[in-house]
Amino acid sequence: MTISRRILMAAATVALMAAASPAMADLKFGVAAEPYPPFTSKDASGVWVGWEVDFMNAVCAEIGEKCAIEEVAWDGIIPALQAKKFDAIMASMLITEKRKAIINFSNMYYDSAAVIIGPKGDDKDVSPEHLSGKNVGVQVSTAHARYMAKYYEPKGTVIKTYATQDEANADLAAGRLDYVMANGTALDAFLATDQGSCCEVKGAVERDAEIYGEGVGLGVRKEDTALVEKFNAAIKTMASKGTFDQISAKWNLTGKLVLPKP
């Protein structure tokens, strides 16, 4: 066999292998492995679905990139970003000054009030004084956990932290907690389930800008400034085109989220 023929055969083999292999994603988005409906969760077939998944697909269409999801535990998501396991965090992460000291963020792509839920009844007082001695569940390493520690724990509220929001919700439904505090939109999804029929929204907490920051953004490594610019341009275009309204309507979240303005 001549050298030229060997080269041609080798090239053909490489081409066939490339054709047989799935296309690699240009961008990977880190998503907390824990379900967080209606923003991110897996359907019965194991496919990621939700408001944020549709948002990701719309962003990638705007910037012309192929994208994929990388699962990671919530409490290790920033270290995983810094270790370059993916390119951006997409996990309903609030833009706060503390986090901005470590990573960069896109502009806000949604915001939602923080609320407290509990068993159905006439008592709607969610003041720190009224919840003294009560057991309140929050997800660990969240703004809600920090809010409870700042305003409620000093007044005698017993704070119980959970690895996932689902675990906190389950303990509330089982009567092992008096209240749960979290993102109001995520808790609305829980209250709409059979398990959540036990409970109702008791009230929203007063916003603390230091804790809740500027809303939810895509977390990016400090050095990836060009990627942030791409994301911001896409978010602006999507707002102008009404994409956010379309996604929110699909997930029955119209009027429930604060969205970017055109």
Going residue by residue through the chain, which has 262 residues, state the pLDDT in tens, using 9 for 90 and above. Answer: 454 444 444 444 434 433 333 445 689 999 999 999 999 999 999 999 999 999 999 999 999 999 999 999 999 999 999 999 999 999 999 999 999 999 999 999 999 999 999 999 999 999 999 999 999 999 999 999 999 999 999 999 999 999 999 999 999 999 999 999 999 999 999 999 999 999 999 999 999 999 999 999 999 999 999 999 999 999 999 999 999 999 999 999 999 999 999 8
17 falls within a domain = no
72 falls within a domain = yes
Residues 194 and 207 in one domain: yes
The total of structural domains in the chain comes to 2
Backbone phi and psi for residue 158, each to the nearest 5 degrees, phi listed first:
-95, 115
Q: What's the pLDDT score for residue 8?
A: 42
Residues 187 and 131 in one domain: yes
d(CA 104, CA 88): 10
Residues 134 and 161 in one domain: yes
Residues 61 and 95 in one domain: yes
Enclosing domain of residue 27: 23-111+215-250
Residues 166 and 202 in one domain: yes
CATH number at residue 93: 3.40.190.10
Residues 170 and 225 in one domain: no
Q: What's the pLDDT score for residue 24?
A: 52
* pTM of the model as a whole: 0.83
Q: What's the pLDDT score for residue 25?
A: 64
Q: What's the pLDDT score for residue 181?
A: 98
6 falls within a domain = no
Residues 160 and 32 in one domain: no
Q: What's the pLDDT score for residue 42?
A: 96
d(CA 39, CA 93): 11
d(CA 259, CA 110): 5
- Sequence-distant (6+) residues with CB within 8 A of 210 are 96, 97
Strand partners, 28: 68
- Sequence-distant (6+) residues with CB within 8 A of 203 are 115, 116, 124, 125, 126
Q: What's the pLDDT score for residue 16?
A: 41
Q: What is the CA radius of gyration of the chain?
A: 22
58 contacts 247 by C-beta, under 8 angstroms: yes
Residues 167 and 131 in one domain: yes
